[in-house]
């Protein structure tokens, strides 16, 4: 998985592509760690280009969420496709990782 | 349930991270030849079997040396996967509840169990065997 990153000043948009799985999740986690350590803890994960997520990807999102919130920020997910939405709902993670339809809506108060 | 005339789509190789894409591709091949399959069924079945595949890749020992064989069969009323691997003796923690919202792990098997109608594990001689079935045309979860 590769992902683009756009620093918008008050927040950063991460855009992973392809499969967000046990292969790619550690790369995402490492990048989030670096961003939070650099005081960039307001993160939007634009999931429009992710066609599949597994439990490792979910774990990376939850880990990122905890790190971001622990540093006065947040991690929000946007533009998730049907498989990602189904898995978020199945695991009840949509309660703490509310999926926003768009990046704009996810970053509305940042 | 098994051993019938439904054609099997098979994959053999090492249970390593790079091979997970091959599992996705195997299912895609089965779907391509069964265009009547509901995309929702396929998506949920794929989610489930990849979690089990992940389990073998992550925990199978000796790491990098475990071999596996995947077989997928599509029938009129169900889709089935069988996974044999040569990893060490293994006892899956079946029947556990979905972990709490802030847990970063432990969801793989509960996800698979929630999305499959049958999920059975047994050790036969020196092989771990998973049998996974999703009945077709059901209401999606949630």
The pLDDT tens digits of the residues spanning A9-57 come to 999 999 999 999 999 999 999 999 999 999 999 999 999 999 999 999 9
Q: Residue A97: which of B110, B108, B103, B55 has the closest Cα?
A: B103
B140, pLDDT greater than 80:
no
The separation between the first and the last C-alpha atoms of chain A, rounded to the nearest angstrom, is 27
For residue B14, the tally of other CB atoms under 10 A from its CB is 16
A3, pLDDT greater than 50:
yes
Lookup result for tokens 């997520």: A53
Lookup result for tokens 């030849």: B33
Name, in order, each residue with C-beta under 8 angstroms of B58's C-beta and a sequence gap of 6 or more.
Answer: A22
Please tell me the predicted confidence (pLDDT) of residue B5.
Answer: 66
| CB-CB under 8 Å, B18 with A23 | yes
Q: Are A22 and B17 in contact (CB under 8 A)?
A: yes
Please tell me the predicted confidence (pLDDT) of residue A38.
Answer: 97
A106, pLDDT greater than 90:
yes
| pLDDT tens-digit series, residues B34-82 | 999 999 999 999 999 999 999 999 999 999 999 999 999 999 999 999 9
What percentage of residues in chain B have a pLDDT greater than 90?
Answer: 87
Lookup result for tokens 């498989």: A83
The SS3 call for residue B61 is coil
Chain centroid, CA A36 distance in Å: 13
Q: Is B71 on the interface with A (CB under 8 A)?
A: no
| CB-CB under 8 Å, B24 with A87 | no
Q: Is B44 on the interface with A (CB under 8 A)?
A: yes
Query: A1-15, A26-40, A60-74, B15-29: which range is least confident on average?
Result: A1-15
C-alpha–C-alpha distance, residues A86 and A92, integer Å = 10
B1, pLDDT greater than 50:
no
Q: Is B59 on the interface with A (CB under 8 A)?
A: no
| CB-CB under 8 Å, B58 with A22 | yes
Instruction: For chain B, give the mean pLDDT.
Output: 93
Q: Is B107 on the interface with A (CB under 8 A)?
A: yes
B95 DSSP β-pair partners: none
Q: Residue A103: which of A2, A1, A15, A4 has the closest Cα?
A: A15
For residue B114, the tally of other CB atoms under 10 A from its CB is 18
Instruction: For chain A, give the mean pLDDT.
Output: 96
pTM of the model: 0.94
For residue B142, what pLDDT band results from cuts at 50, 70 and 90?
very low
Residue of A nearest to B43 (CA): A83
Name, in order, each residue with C-beta under 8 angstroms of B99's C-beta and a sequence gap of 6 or more.
Answer: B105, B106, B107, B110
How near does any CA of chain A get to the CA of B141, in Å? 7
Please tell me the predicted confidence (pLDDT) of residue B27.
Answer: 98
Please tell me the predicted confidence (pLDDT) of residue B7.
Answer: 78
Which of B20, B104, B141 lies nearest to residue A90, judging by beta carbons? B141
Q: Is A87 on the interface with B (CB under 8 A)?
A: yes
Q: Residue B24: which of A16, A83, A26 has the closest Cα?
A: A83
Q: Are A55 and B99 in contact (CB under 8 A)?
A: no
Average pLDDT over residues A81-94: 97
B2, pLDDT greater than 90:
no
C-alpha–C-alpha distance, residues B125 and B142, integer Å = 39
Query: What tokens appear for B100 in the block?
Result: 């709490």
Query: What tokens appear for B78 in the block?
Result: 């169900």
C-alpha–C-alpha distance, residues A105 and A87, integer Å = 21
């Amino acid at each position: 998985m590769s992902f683009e990153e756009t620093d918008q000043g008050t927040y950063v948009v991460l855009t992973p592509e392809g499969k967000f799985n046990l292969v790619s999740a550690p790369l995402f986690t490492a990048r989030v760690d670096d961003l939070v350590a650099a005081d960039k803890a307001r993160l939007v994960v634009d999931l429009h280009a992710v066609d599949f997520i597994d439990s490792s990807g979910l774990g990376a999102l939850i880990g990122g969420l905890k790190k971001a919130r622990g540093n006065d920020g947040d991690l929000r997910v946007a533009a998730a496709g049907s498989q990602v939405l189904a898995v978020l709902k199945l695991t009840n993670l949509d309660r703490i990782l509310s999926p926003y339809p768009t990046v704009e809506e996810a970053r509305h108060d940042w | 349930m098994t051993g019938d005339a439904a054609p099997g789509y098979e994959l053999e190789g090492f249970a390593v991270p790079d091979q997970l894409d091959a599992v996705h591709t195997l299912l895609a091949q089965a779907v391509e030849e069964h265009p009547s399959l509901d995309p929702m069924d396929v998506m949920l079945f794929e989610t489930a079997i990849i979690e089990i595949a992940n389990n073998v890749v992550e925990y199978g020992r000796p790491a990098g040396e475990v071999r596996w064989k995947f077989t997928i069969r599509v029938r009129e009323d169900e889709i089935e996967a069988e996974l044999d691997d040569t990893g060490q003796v293994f006892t899956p923690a079946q029947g556990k509840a979905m972990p709490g919202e802030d847990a970063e792990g432990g969801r793989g098997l509960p996800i698979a169990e929630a999305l499959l109608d049958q999920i059975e594990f047994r050790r036969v001689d020196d092989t771990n065997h998973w049998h996974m079935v999703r009945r077709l045309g059901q209401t999606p979860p949630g």
